[in-house]
Amino acid sequence: MANDGQREYFNDEKRVQRWPTREPFTKVAISPLLDAASLQPGMTVCDIGCGGGMATLQAAELVGQTGSVVGVDISRAMVALAASRPHPDIVQYVEADAQTDPLVGGPFDRIISQFGLMFFEDPVAAFVNLGKHLAPEGSLHGVVWQPMETNLSFMAHRLAARGFARVTPGGRTVEVGAFAFANRDVVDEYLVAAGFERATWNLHSLIRLSHVDEVVTRETLVLAGIDEAVVDDAYAEALLELAAVTDANGRVHCPLDVQVLSTRLAKL
């Protein structure tokens, strides 16, 4: 089965429990994503990797009662979290693997994704599948991270220097994970191979005012793969780095550098 590693990762009980603490960081990117998608009343929308449904709900507000929005996630636990939150009748949440599974509710005028496109084991196959569910004049919009070096909210991952890679049958290594789509040229290669146009990219430097404990804790360091024997040293190093962006009131001005890709199927 495709994407088994990501299915297991995003169903991990500890990660699911911590998900609401992560949402205040990721939700700052919803606005530039939806601005790029230019949603209008009556549109059909699919939200890939919907997580707890925050972008799904904001999309529903824009398309209104004459539209519809389907939130898709590979994680049963995330779908359950999203469905447990108040949502209008035009919203439906579905557990599915967007790389391989049919997507109910299409064809879609817009397919959007808030940090959900970077986790496919086979990005080309995933984009091919998404393209099958787009309306003829539909478009795809996704917000992804710029490189890790400029994103302090991933402090645990920066210190762990941990990533995911998988070798495809053709021998090429495909990075999978939060920063897999930081390289725009690589993403454009995936898109073109899947029958899309090269993307239009918009870069955004956002700031989230946070408390230190919202950015990093010893628990998040261990969860990211740091050995418990050295977690105190890693935590001390993290605090030193965060001190440079902490104001006199103890608020961390946490930089969040993202980029929004917009594309549509190439004309034959």
Instruction: Please give the single-letter amino acid code of residue 99.
Output: Q
Question: Is 221 a member of any domain?
Answer: no
Instruction: Please give the single-letter amino acid code of residue 25.
Output: F
Question: Is 15 a member of any domain?
Answer: yes
pTM of the entire predicted model: 0.81
pLDDT in tens, 54-110: 999 999 999 999 999 999 999 999 999 999 999 999 999 999 999 999 999 999 999
Alpha-carbon distance of 131 to 24, in angstroms, equals 30
* Token pair 């001005």 in the structure block, residue: 253
Instruction: Please give the single-letter amino acid code of residue 64.
Output: G
Question: Is 19 a member of any domain?
Answer: yes
Question: Is 216 a member of any domain?
Answer: no
**CATH number of the domain residue 159 falls in:** 3.40.50.150
Residues 6+ apart with CB under 8 A from 68: 44, 45, 90, 91, 92, 105
The per-residue b/e assignment along 204-231, b for 16 or more CB within 10 angstroms, e otherwise, is: beeebebebebbbbeebbbebebeeeeb
Structural domain total, the chain: 1
Domain of 40, in residue numbers: 4-211+253-263
Question: Is 23 a member of any domain?
Answer: yes
Question: Is 47 a member of any domain?
Answer: yes
pLDDT in tens, 183-194: 999 999 999 999
Question: Is 136 a member of any domain?
Answer: yes
Question: Is 148 a member of any domain?
Answer: yes
